[in-house]
Each structure stands twice: as C-alpha cells, then as structure tokens.
Chain A
Amino acid sequence: GAGVSQSPSNKVTEKGKDVELRCDPISGHTALYWYRQRLGQGLEFLIYFQGNSAPDKSGLPSDRFSAERTGESVSTLTIQRTQQEDSAVYLCASSLESRRLDFGPGTRLTVT
C-alpha cells in the first residue's frame, strides 16, 4: 500500500517568510510524528499526535513552530518568520498505535 508522503520535497524560502509543510500518513495509522534532521545530525523530535488526544508539543523549539492534524489524516507543520537555523530536513512518520514508525521521504527546507 501507499507509504507516508510529504510535500513539497524541497522548499527554498527567504528569511522572515512563513512556510507550511504537509504530511499524509499511512491510512489507518493513529499516531503521527514530526522530526527535524539538521545536516549530518541525528533526529530531533518536534511534535506527536495520537488519535484525538491533545498533541505532545514538547519538542517544538520556539513559538514560531506549530502543527495541526485533522482527525487521523493529514498534518501540516507551519514555521513562521523563518530563520537560517530552521534549515533542515523535516521528517514525518506515522504508526499504528504508537509502535513501529514508518517515515516519509522528508521535506528539505533551505532558508536563505
């Protein structure tokens, strides 16, 4: 079946602009995660959604970052007033009942 998809695959934006990244999880997966990976680094947790529960936002680095999820489907990650340190690959993963994670291909964000 279809895996996790993310769009856009690449995004170049000017410092100070807002960006919106999209994630389509695997159908039926109740949990959805956003991670960030800076060049040559490991994965940094951002936010976690599980069903209709309140999201765990403990990893969001600043109030410029926010995310939404509609039911158990699409999620969007929004970064306002982008800064150069926001440049990274943003990875989305989904799982069934918060167990085995399946990752999407990521969105590479470059802030100039």
Chain B
Amino acid sequence: GIQVEQSPPDLILQEGANSTLRCNFSDSVNNLQWFHQNPWGQLINLFYIPSGTKQNGRLSATTVATERYSLLYISSSQTTDSGVYFCAVGSGGSYIPTFGRGTSLIVHP
C-alpha cells in the first residue's frame, strides 16, 4: 500500500511564529486531507486537497501531486494550534485514506 511520511515528527514554537509541515507519499493520490487532532482527541478536517493550493485564515496547504508531497503552512501560530497534525492519503481505486504518523506541535505563549 501507499506509504505516508510526515516531517518533522515534533515541533515546538513560540506564539506568533510561522511553520511548515510536510507530507510525502509514495504513489499518485486521488485523495489527500490534513487534520488537526486537538489535545482532547477530536480530529478536525482542515483541508481536502488532492492537488493545488487552498487557504483558510492563518492556515494554507499546497499539494504537488506530480512530486508526491503536500505542505501545510501555519502562520502567526497561537497556543490553540497545539496538537497533532495528520496527513491522510488515498490512492489508486481506493478511497480509504492511509494516515501518516503525524507531527506533534506545541505552541508556547
């Protein structure tokens, strides 16, 4: 099956800093999503982005499908951005997303 690698595994920021999270995948994709899992465990869908660029407030994402990677940008980080960010991809005829291991983000005030 498809392999999904996320980097960095851990990230610590001061409030106000910017960051870039990366998701590499091993095959062409028909489905790519970014999620934020807050400290209480709830998974929030941030972006459905199999290709192209999207923006939502301080967050934006870009997927370059031909080069098999996606980036999640967080600008002016806030303490509420803390949690784990997951990338999930589906490939071929499968619509079952495979999740990466996540990037754990801590934002200090």
Contact = CB atoms under 8 A, between A and B. Distances in A.
Given A33-B96, A42-B86, A45-B96, A106 B102 contact: no
Contacts of B99: 35, 42-43
Contacts of A48: 95-96
A33 B95 CA distance: 10
A54 B41 CA distance: 30
Interface residues of B, number: 20
Interface of A is mostly: strand
B33 A103 contact: no
Contacts, number: 46
Interface residues of A, number: 22
Given A42-B100, A42-B102, A103 B95 contact: no
Interface of A: 31, 33, 35, 41-43, 45, 48, 50, 56, 59, 89, 91, 93, 98-103, 105-106
16 contacts: A35-B99, A42-B100, A42-B101, A42-B102, A43-B88, A43-B99, A45-B97, A50-B95, A89-B41, A99-B48, A101-B33, A101-B45, A101-B88, A103-B43, A105-B41, A105-B42
Interface of B: 31, 33, 35, 41-45, 48, 86, 88, 90, 95-102
